[in-house]
Amino acid sequence: MKRLVLAALGLVMLASGSMAQTAKPATKQPVPQTKPAAQAKPAAPKSPFPAPAFKLTIATWGSYPPFNYLDRKGLPAGFEMDLAQEICQRMKAECEFVAAKWDDLIPGLVEKKFDIVMASLEVTPERRRRLGMSRRYYLSPGAFIAAKGAPFDGPPSLLRNKRIGVQKDSTHADWVDKSFRRSAQIKRYASVADELQALANGEVDAVFGDKAQLWLWSQKPEGQCCELVGQDIKDAPTLGIGVAAGIRREDVKLREAFNKALSEMIGDGTYKKLNAKYFPFSLNG
């Protein structure tokens, strides 16, 4: 019996040693490494200048001097662009000025390629339905031009029974028809250039048209023969109410800011100074 106990005890010890040799060592769990806390980036310095109230693209035609044209660098310039720059400053707006083809101006405004169009847009019922027009920023009245020394420097009645040239199918032709249909000989021409050439050639006694255009021609060598005569003609039903900026109808705040800036310019004399830079007569009538 004692021998059996000893034998069994020996077998147990042998098995324990064998298991100790074949058992896999326990794997050590990696100690998690803690990353150092990221340092906060310093805040960007604040600009000393306030953010612009508006970021705008102002489009013009660039082919109607001196109201709008391209300067030697190909940049938009002229009376309307001078007004636009001053208005942008007063609105605290960041403005880019671009020129576009005439037929692309209003579609580009509607499609949000531009924010404002300043290109001598006459205010018409159709444009008012489609756009949110600003207040008028210039009005070039109707006027007569005749040979220097001609006896027409007075009321339009002085031109009764005379030959009057006018561009056909124009608002100026509408006014002449209304005022002189039975009291003067009306001659119609395809363009302003044609009617003025007829005046220089003595084919008509006077021409009726846009005052600014007629005055500009009188300053050229070919227009030295002639001068503006008589009174300014303002007649809203035929000649319209003037020129305004085109703005999208939904941009109410922009239109209000534009109108406010323009009113301030007129009130403090800035508009008058810019006007005098281009014309010897007021366009804010």
Instruction: Indicate whether 105 pLDDT > 90.
Output: yes
Instruction: Indicate whether 23 pLDDT > 50.
Output: no
What's the pLDDT score for residue 50?
67
Q: Which domains does the chain have, with CATH numbers?
A: 54-139+241-278 (3.40.190.10), 142-239 (3.40.190.10)
E strand or H helix at 179: helix 171-180
d(CA 88, CA 206): 41
Residues 179-225: tens digit of each pLDDT:
998 899 999 999 999 999 999 999 999 999 999 999 999 999 999 99
Whole-model pTM?
Answer: 0.79
Q: Which long-range contacts (CB under 8 A, 24 or more apart) does 260-267 make?
A: 260/90, 260/91, 261/86, 261/87, 261/90, 261/91, 262/83, 262/87, 262/134, 262/135, 262/137, 263/135, 264/90, 265/83, 265/86, 265/87, 265/90
Residues 211-264: tens digit of each pLDDT:
999 999 999 999 999 999 999 999 999 999 999 999 999 999 999 999 999 999
Instruction: Indicate whether 148 pLDDT > 70.
Output: yes
- Given a contact cutoff of 8 angstroms between Cβ atoms, the answer to whether 94 and 53 are in contact is no
d(CA 7, CA 285): 131
Instruction: Indicate whether 35 pLDDT > 70.
Output: no
> What integer is the mean pLDDT of 264-285?
96
**Does the bond joining 66 to the residue before it have cis omega, within 30 degrees of 0?**
yes
Of the candidate ranges 13-17, 86-90, 141-145, 269-273, the one whose mean pLDDT is the lowest: 13-17
Percent of the chain whose predicted confidence (pLDDT) is above 90: 80
More confident site: 26 or 40 = 40
- Given a contact cutoff of 8 angstroms between Cβ atoms, the answer to whether 266 and 134 are in contact is no
